[in-house]
Amino acid sequence: MSDERLFTFRNRWFTVSVVGTIAIAAVSALIGFVWLPSVHRDAPFTGILNAICSAAGVPRDWYAGGTAVEPKEKLTTVEMTPQLLDKVSANSIGRGATLALRCTMCHGERGMSEANSPNLAGQYASVIYKQLIDFQKGARNNAVMSPMAMNLSDQDMRDLAAYYANLPRPPAQRKVSDALAPAIVAHGAPMRNIAPCAACHGGIDSKAGSPWLDGLPASYTKAQMVAFANGTRTNDINEVMRNVARNMTAEEIDAAAMYYARELNAGVK
């Protein structure tokens, strides 16, 4: 057995290992604590202490002087659960029918729009309720809906949601086989982190807060997906729709919107 000591600077390999480790640590520190803070001016990277705390996963309000950093845009505050508005009374539906008289110009007498506004007949009550709150709180903005929702009470919004959810969903004007669904709807695009649309918006089951899309005007659906993609609409929970839409092509957005509107033509696959 060799008597040569391994952990000594006389050992060339030990010296190279130590010097290399120190060099890697120095470069990492320069990148993490000098270059990144100079590029990212937001609170988690401003200053060495903030950068260290952010990298360590320390809650933001701990290193922001006890004051949480406000997001640039207003986000939804609605907590979506499968049980939200799953049981409604006949009185609530009746009150909602009266309140809905002011909504007929855009959403139709029985929740079916003729003005490229969303059809509300048969829509999930929790979805309608969430969107009304988002319009009222500013998490979602629209020149017509924001003022309309401003003076509604919480009970008013629950009643409207109950009324529209109780209306029968209309049959598809043009029946399209599910076998003709565009690939982005049926299978998504896993390599681009896009789940199939039906995973959240399915007819048999749906993710809480995800709307029923069948029969929605294609122009409306497309406009909302484009808004999610460019960040002008931000009231999706956990940025789910923004992450999906920004990775979709314009052709895929058109195909999905047309499919759910049941306006497929022979050229869409």
Establish if 176 belongs to a structural domain. Answer: yes
If asked whether residues 102 and 83 sit together in one domain, one would say: yes
Between 117 and 172, residue with greater pLDDT:
117
Establish if 67 belongs to a structural domain. Answer: no
> What pLDDT band is residue 269 in, cutting at 50, 70 and 90?
very low
pLDDT tens digits along 89-116: 999 999 999 999 999 999 999 999 988 8
Identify the CATH number of the domain in which residue 106 sits: 1.10.760.10
* Domains identified in the chain, total number: 3
| Segment 236-243 long-range contacts (CB within 8 Å, at least 24 positions apart) | 236/76, 237/76, 237/80, 237/209, 240/200, 243/193
pLDDT, position 267 = 38
Domain with 265 in it: 172-269
Asked whether the beta carbons of 159 and 115 are under 8 A apart, the reply is no
If asked whether residues 145 and 186 sit together in one domain, one would say: no
pLDDT-above-90 percentage for the chain: 51
The residue out of 151, 170, 189 marking a domain boundary is 170
Mean pLDDT of 37-56: 59
If asked whether residues 51 and 81 sit together in one domain, one would say: no
Establish if 3 belongs to a structural domain. Answer: no
Asked whether the beta carbons of 217 and 261 are under 8 A apart, the reply is yes
The residue out of 170, 205, 228 marking a domain boundary is 170
Establish if 68 belongs to a structural domain. Answer: no
Establish if 2 belongs to a structural domain. Answer: no
Establish if 243 belongs to a structural domain. Answer: yes
The residue out of 123, 138, 170 marking a domain boundary is 170
pLDDT tens digits along 196-239: 998 898 765 677 889 999 889 999 999 999 999 999 999 999 89
Query: Poorest-confidence range of 37-51, 68-82, 130-144, 224-238?
Result: 37-51
pTM of the model: 0.71
